[in-house]
Amino acid sequence: MRSFTPVIAVLLLICACNPTQKNTGSASAVNPYQYNLNKKIVADNGAVVSAHPLASKVGVEIMKQGGNAVDAAIATQLALAVVYPNAGNLGGGGFLVGRFSSGELISVDFREKAPGAAHRDMYIEADGTPRTDKSQDGHLSSGVPGTVAGIFAYLKYGKLPFEKLIQPAIDLAQKGFTISEREARSLNGLQIELKKLNTVMPVFVKDKWVRGDTLFQIDLANTLTRIRDKGTAGFYEGETARLIVEEMKRGGGIITYDDLKNYQAKVRTPHSFTYKGYKVIGMPMPSSGGLLLNQMMKMVENRNIASMGFHSLQSVQLMTEVERRAFADRAEYMGDADFYNVPVSMLSNDNYLQERMKDYDPARATPSSVIKPGIAVRPESKETTHLSVIDKEGNAISITTTLNNSYGSRTVVGGAGFFLNDEMDDFSIKPGVPNMYGAVGGEANAIQPGKRMLSSMTPTIVLKDDKPFIVVGTPGGTTIPTQIFQTLINIIDFNMSTEDAVYKPKFHHQWLPDEILIEKGFPAAVKDALTKMGYKFAREREGIGRTEIIKVLPNGKFEAVADNRGDDAAEGW
């Protein structure tokens, strides 16, 4: 075993709120009332980076107890369901991309499914009016949750007993944890919707949350305990299923016992491709993430983007144009491949992608109307979360999970303590009607019972010489694939440090609306020059995404960097 490497950390004390309370739970070294936030660490044995310092710490503790990256990822994911209710979840879904020490590559699809009673026009009024309120808020917006089935689908790749992995989450829910300034603000902003969209007032309802308050989630602790004791049946059957179905009945939702009992996560072959000698492993359908990343990277591969330079007019314009073209394909061709024949090999074929760039003009914008017709809305920022984990055995795990909107449907299952997703909005509820991220679609992503809605989540692993090099992912709705694209180009082509690759301002084009979304700090001179070339810009955004990345350094150490756009934190040992 290699020696412990001191942590190189930017330490920011965010909570030291209740020193009299002691943590006695199995999260042992993790004190939920006092914790630090490390933005960067370098470690010898393993690393975890996630949206919450407590969740990252839980993961590293599990590795110290003999767990591998899978064990750590499961423990971190379950802890996030408690300490990061915006997006960590039991009532949502997500994707895992993994590379094991044996060399095996897998992806696990635990995306939500449309309930059996769902139908194509369920969000369209008789007069044709689309009801995005119903696809985005409350009971009817929820797909059948996949998270618990997902965890049990990859549990077999871990080493420790499940009870050990879930106990820290149970303790955090039962004994509580102190919330940060950002969490207090986020919960305060949620109060009106919580009161409107819940049939039983959840613990999150309070006159005013302040930094340092302790959040106790007893109902959630009980649900987690049922999962600990009964496995998937602790969620999809029995008491938890009863609570979900009763909640549906009280609130006009349609998820049934059968929907829950029949839910199955799927182990799929990852979507892989090569880029300049690296092997990039991504998520296949029903996420568009892997294929979009493939298309965008291949469209720039032979254009010597390195010589153009980071944030140069040339590189930003080129990347914008490839983003536009990939997203036009997303709207037309991509959806759940179990239901719709997605032409993946055609869309990732080299000749096709070179052909796609035939009308690219480095001197001016290609209007989206030339590539395809459509309508425009502005994308909004919502919530999803990513965790990256690596261990010294050579296992690498990249998981992105989501409830879709921040806190999903904003409906908590009465008596069970967890938020349900509002993932149904990721379907194309009507051809041409944009979802909450402004994405449009048609037949490929139309609602059908049991179908999974198209996603943009892009959990990714990059191999160099067949060994893990980068483990990365981010939230951000449709901006997810473009952010991962830019982060990878920043590292591989622009030779940037890992922090710069993540922290420097990002930009985004998704074909429709035909405008570039930029993040605060994007160079004004480049924006002006692009405007002269015919580009339009959306209102500048404060932050795009929250990327969690681990890079393996040439000396074999793990450099983990947490995004500085949130309370995200890296831990290692």
Q: Can you give the binding site for ligand DON, defined by CB under 6 A?
A: 381-384, 402, 404, 423, 426, 455-457, 475-477, 480
Q: Within 13 A of 222's CA, how many CA atoms are on the CB side?
A: 11
Q: Which amino acid is at 365?
A: A
Min CB(385)–ligand DON separation in Å: 8
Residue 332 vs 426, nearer CB to ligand DON: 426
- 432 contacts 440 by C-beta, under 8 angstroms: yes
Nearest alpha carbon to residue 517 among 309, 297, 316, 291: 316
Min CB(86)–ligand DON separation in Å: 9
Residue 33 vs 418, nearer CB to ligand DON: 418
Residue 342 vs 463, nearer CB to ligand DON: 342
- 68 contacts 393 by C-beta, under 8 angstroms: yes
Residue 232 vs 384, nearer CB to ligand DON: 384
Residue 71 vs 426, nearer CB to ligand DON: 426
Nearest alpha carbon to residue 327 among 545, 509, 516: 509
Q: Single out the catalytic residue among 76, 178, 223, 384.
A: 384
Beta bridge partners of 105: 99
Tokens representing residue 471 in the block: 């483990």
Three state DSSP letters for 193-261? HHHHHCCCCCCCCCCCCCCCCEECCHHHHHHHHHHHHHCCHHHHCHHHHHHHHHHHHHHCCCCCHHHHH
The DSSP H or E segment spanning 42 is strand 40-43
**214 among known catalytic residues:** no
Min CB(416)–ligand DON separation in Å: 22
Min CB(292)–ligand DON separation in Å: 11
Min CB(391)–ligand DON separation in Å: 26
Taking CA atoms, 65 is separated from 71, 153, 229, 516, 550, in Å, by 10, 22, 21, 47, 21
Residue 382 vs 392, nearer CB to ligand DON: 382
Min CB(472)–ligand DON separation in Å: 14
Q: Within 13 A of 435's CA, how many CA atoms are on the CB side?
A: 31
E runs forming strands in 172-259: 177-178, 214-215
Give the active site residues: 384
